Each structure stands twice: as C-alpha cells, then as structure tokens.
Chains A and B, each alone.
Chain A
Amino acid sequence: MNRNALKMAACGLGLALVTTGIAVAQGGRNITVKGSDTMVILGQKWAEVFMSKNAGMAVQVTGGGSGVGIAALINGTTDVAEASRPMRDAEKQQVKDRRGKEAVELAVAVDGLAVYVHEANPITELSLPQLKAIYTGAVKNWKDVGGKDEKIILYSRENSSGTYAYFKEHVLENGDYYPTAQTLPGTAAVINAVSKDTRGIGYGGIAYGKGVRHLRVKKDPNSPAIEPSMENVLAGKYPISRYLYWYTAGMPSGDMLKLCQWVVSEEGQKVVENVGYYRLNPNDRMATAAKLDGAGKDSKAKGKAARSQ
C-alpha cells in the first residue's frame, strides 16, 4: 500500500515536471488571442489559416467577451485582446500602468449589428428611436410600433459583452436596458431564443442569424429603412455598424507583428468575408497597415541605434 502510494506520488511529480517542461518549450511561439465572443469565430478562422501558412506558429483563440479580453490584456495573460468596442480611456490607462506600454488599437474588420425578430412577426423595419424606446421600456407592446397587440419580449446580452456596450451606447444613447430584458450568453443564444419566441426581439452580429428575420433599420423616423447588407455597411449607410478591434500592449514585434500584418492583408480580409463580417474599407486598411509598418520600421531603427552604440 505504502510503497504503491509512494510510486504514485513519484509518477505524479514526474508527470507534472514533464508537462510544465512541455509548456515552457512551447511558450516561445504561442500567441494567445482572447476577447469578444462576437469575434471568436473570426479569430479562430484567422488562426487556422495563418497557422496553415506559417508552420511552427501556434495561435490560440478564446472568447469570453470584450471586457474579458481587455482585462486579460491589462493583467498580461493574453497577447492580443479582441474587442467589439473601442477601449475606454480608463482601460488604456490601466494597460499603461500595469504593462508599462501604450495600448495599440488596430481596426481589423467591420461588423453590422442586426436587430432580429421572429419570422412570424409582421414588423419589417424600426427606427433607432423606436429601438431605444423598446429596449428602455418606454414601449412594451408591439402595436405601439405598428405590430400586433402583443407584449414585447426583450432579449439582450450579458454586460461583459462588447455588443451589449455598443448597443447601449449607440442605440440606447447610454440609457439603461429595461430590467425585463433577458441577458443571454452570446449572440447565438439570442438568435436561438428569438427564433423560438414570436414576440421576441434581439440584437447581435449580422454574421449570425439563421432562423430569424433581420429588421431594416432607419436612422430616424423620416430616413429610409436600410437593409443590414454588405454594401450598406461598407458604404456606411446602415446606422448600426462598428469596427472590430485587436489590441496589443505596445507595438507588436516579431511573430506578433507578422500575424497582425497578415490579418489586415488581402488574405486576412478575405477570411473576414468568408466568416460573414465585412472587410475594412481601403482607407481604414491602409491606416492600420501604416501603423504596423511604423512598428516594423521603429523596431528596426531601434535595433540599428542599439548596434551603433
């Protein structure tokens, strides 16, 4: 008994040593990307394609919400934070305080936020003020926005989500969601809920969204209703669209720089389209690429300076 226990302990210790050894050995080439649930699919697809073209590099993508990713960047537990909302000033300051480097913001794709209703709902379009009234509880019945005489059931996201924050800021104009809004983990859960609820309304990324109707959205009551389509988002006509970001602590270098540059390259942007989001327009793409080029040159210049000293 006793000897067996000793053996097992020894084995356990050995295993622990071996696994930490492996972890350390892999540590050098592993790039971690963490954050927005909206961007998880996109991030994973990027990682997949990038790794298939660059043997030996490991890119690890996980979700959790924009807030989770940014918190991880602040705490130094991820290399890249994916966020579906811009970083707040307080968060940028925290990155600076905790990591000693400026947070670098890279716009990497564009997303439209769609508003969904059940397919049996006769409503086909809503204006931003109407959406605000619905989500803040001022309007509680579909008939007040031209629908059937039925209660409106609100579906929302958890408050750690960038989608939640974006919708709150741009549609609710910083008002509070009405307390009856059910908070669900992820856009897929919202779609699932709305597809099962004839009185439901929900919001989320355009890339998701089978089994529910996407509403056309009017900027104000008199403006035309715009379909959440690729052309409209790209042209800036669709009123609820946003950038998707990557954040790093300090300018990326080495493998990280390579990955970031690839993401905004033609190839990387093609992945964006395949996943169902929108590529950056040429100007934004140039801007992000230029930022990264600056990083490449900077680090080279610094290297030269160091050598010449």
Chain B
Amino acid sequence: MSTLTTAPRLLAPEATGLARRKALDWVIEKVILLSSLAALSVIILIFVFVAKESLPVLTSAEVHKEVTLGTLFLPQRYGTAEAPLPFVWQPVSQVPKYSLMPLMLGSLKVTIVAMLFATPLAVLAAIFTTEFAPRWLREVVKPVIEMLAGIPSVVLGFFALIVLATWIQDTFGLDFRLNAINAGVALGLAVIPIIYTICEDALNAVPKSYRQASLALGASPWQTAWKVVLPSAIPGVFAGIVLGFGRAVGETMIVLMASGNAAITSLAFAEPVRTLSATIAAELGEVPVGSAHYHVLFFLGTLLFLFTFVLNWAGTAMIGRLRRRMTGA
C-alpha cells in the first residue's frame, strides 16, 4: 500500500527532469542546426559576393573598354610582328593586357607536377600502413604523414624558395631556379596528407573477409593488397586524388613563393609560372576598387571557386559510392 501511494510522488521530480532534458535537447539540436546552416550560408554568401564583383567583366561597358571575354580567353595581337605574344597577362600597362591563358596554364602545370609527385607516394604509403606495416610502425608513420598537413603553407613555401629550388636547379641543371617543378613538388608535400588520409580510410573500410578469402585461396599478401583490397577501395583512392587536386589548384602561399610568378605561356615545366591563386594574392592588395583589373581578379576567384567546388563535390560523391559498395548494396 505504502509503496503504491509514494510511487507517484517519486515519479513527479523525475518527470520534470525528463521534460527539462527534453527542452535542453531541443535547444541543443536547434543550436547545432543553426551552426551548420551558418557554415552553409557563409559559403553561399562568399560565392555571391565573389560572383557579384566579377559580374562587370560580363556586363559593364566601362570594363569592356579594357577587357572582354574574348581578350580573356582568345589569342590577341600583342607583341611585335616578328615576335608575337598572343597571350599576355600585363594588367599594369599603358594598354592593359588580361589574358588568362598563361595563368590557367600555370595553375595546370604546377598542379600536374604536384599530383605526379604526391599521388604515388601517398597511395603507396596508404597501402603500406594498412596492409603491411606492423602495428608499431603504423602508429609512427600515420601521424607523421598527417603532421605534414599541419605545416603552415608559408613554411613549405619558404623551404621551397630557399632550399628546394637550389637543389632542384643544381640536380637537373635548369635555367630557372624558381619554376613549375619546384613549386609543384612543394605543393605535393601539402597534398600528400590529403590523399593519404582518404586512401587509408578507404583501404581500412574494405571488409576483413575479402582479405581472408584471398589469403585462403593461396594469394600472397602482396597479391591480396594489389588485386583485391586496392580495387575494392578504388573509388576512395580516386576521391583522395580528386580532393588533393582541388587543394593543389587553390593553394596560394606555396606557389606565390616558389614558382617565380612569371606569366609565361608555354608548356615547359622548367620555366617559372604564375598561377591563378598567386595572381589574386599578389595583385588584389593594390588594385583601385572598381577598376577593370579589380573585377578581372574577382573573375579569377569565381573560376577558382567553381573549379574547386566541382572537384570537391565529385570527390565526396565518390566517397559516398565507396561507402555504399562496402556496406554491400
């Protein structure tokens, strides 16, 4: 009897406690929702701002006196008759010349070098740590590679400017100290941890049973890693490469310091290059606000933004596909 009468009294404080906790959960949930929306809206606002500032390149008659889409992308009659220079980036000049070709080529060349340098190293390192390394070694290698991501890019750039440039020039006997190869290798150092981390996750996500089955059928550990585990994780490996590519295209400080920043239109990798990102960084500080030069720099920003956005989206989509495959869809 007594227990029956006291029971509701005991329940009451608990019930209010529950209500309070529910309210608290609701508040926390909303706060988390707001913060994720904040991140989203910041991205949208940044894009709107950059796109708005670059719009006059397409619409303004004032800007068109100096630059149009045609002068940005198509060959022009710059230079002299005997030494024509169809693509020139020379915005501070009597006749301002805004050709994006040397800048896009520059970004592309540096990125290609970075990817050629970083991809094999990062992928092989990921295979090693997931498939072959003893536990203690894995515990050392993984954090050390991931620590590369924590090195400020200005430090990597400085290293490339002072040490790497001299070493590469002396080793390969190049004409230019600062060039696409030098900047690309330094950039590769920044890209390695991105590719490595994603690859490693992808390889780890491959179920144990795949390996056991392969080994049970008599395959060697190397055959298992190369022919079973890696192919199953290949979307993740691609995702890592694509995201690394996005980082390489957008990275600024390293190329600003290590590439020589000469807007040359050529396919030679041993020549200095000027990238889209470094051009924005070097020139946006001094342009008169509202000038054609100012709007063109924002136009470069829009191009970069769209490019990295598409790459990131593609990379994430690939990771999603991998996850579905691994969970047995």
Contact = CB atoms under 8 A, between A and B. Distances in A.
B295 to A, nearest CB: 15
A199 B271 CA distance: 15
B285 A68 contact: yes
Contacts of A86: none
Most A-side CB within 10 Å, residue of B24, B88, B260, B274: B260
A185 interface: yes
A241 interface: no
Contacts, number: 81
B85 interface: yes
Contacts of B97: 176
Contact of A160 (B177, B264, B285): B285
Nearest to B274: A183
Most B-side CB within 10 Å, residue of A65, A179, A181: A179
A180 interface: yes
Given A180-B264, A180-B272, A181-B262, A158 B282 contact: yes
Nearest to A138: B83
A158 B83 contact: no
Interface in B219-263: 256, 260-263
A19 interface: no
Interface in A152-201: 153-154, 158-160, 164-165, 168, 174, 176-177, 179-185, 193, 196-197, 199
Contacts of A174: 93-94
A94 interface: yes
Most B-side CB within 10 Å, residue of A91, A164, A182, A197: A182
A194 to B, nearest CB: 10
B286 A71 contact: yes
Contacts of A276: none
Contacts of A179: 85, 88-90, 102, 262-265
B166 interface: yes
B113 to A, nearest CB: 17
A140 to B, nearest CB: 10
B271 A180 contact: yes
A185 B288 contact: no
A137 B90 CA distance: 14
Nearest to B162: A192
B153 to A, nearest CB: 15
A67 to B, nearest CB: 3
Nearest to A91: B288
Contact of B261 (A71, A182, A197): A182
A137 B175 contact: no
A151 interface: yes
B176 interface: yes
Contacts of B92: 159, 164-165, 168
A242 to B, nearest CB: 17
B160 interface: no
A174 B94 CA distance: 7
Contacts of A180: 262, 264, 271-272
A4 interface: no
A235 to B, nearest CB: 32
A183 B106 CA distance: 14
Contacts of B271: 180
A129 interface: no
Interface in B89-139: 89-94, 97, 102
A64 interface: yes
B265 A151 contact: no
A176 B262 contact: no
B146 interface: no
A193 B283 contact: no
A197 B177 contact: yes
A282 to B, nearest CB: 34
Nearest to B90: A176
Contact of B175 (A90, A153, A158, A181): A153
Contacts of B287: 67, 71
A182 B93 CA distance: 17
Nearest to B176: A153
A132 to B, nearest CB: 14
Nearest to B178: A182
A183 B282 CA distance: 10
Nearest to A154: B262
B40 interface: no
Contacts of B265: 179
27 contacts: A64-B286, A67-B287, A68-B285, A68-B286, A71-B285, A71-B286, A71-B288, A74-B288, A90-B288, A91-B288, A137-B83, A154-B262, A158-B283, A159-B91, A159-B283, A160-B283, A164-B92, A165-B92, A179-B88, A180-B262, A180-B264, A180-B271, A182-B176, A182-B260, A183-B261, A184-B261, A197-B177
Give 7 nearest A-B pairs by CB, closest first.
A67-B286, A160-B286, A182-B260, A159-B92, A183-B261, A182-B262, A182-B272
Given A158-B283, A179-B85, 4 more contacts: A137-B83, A176-B88, A182-B261, A183-B260
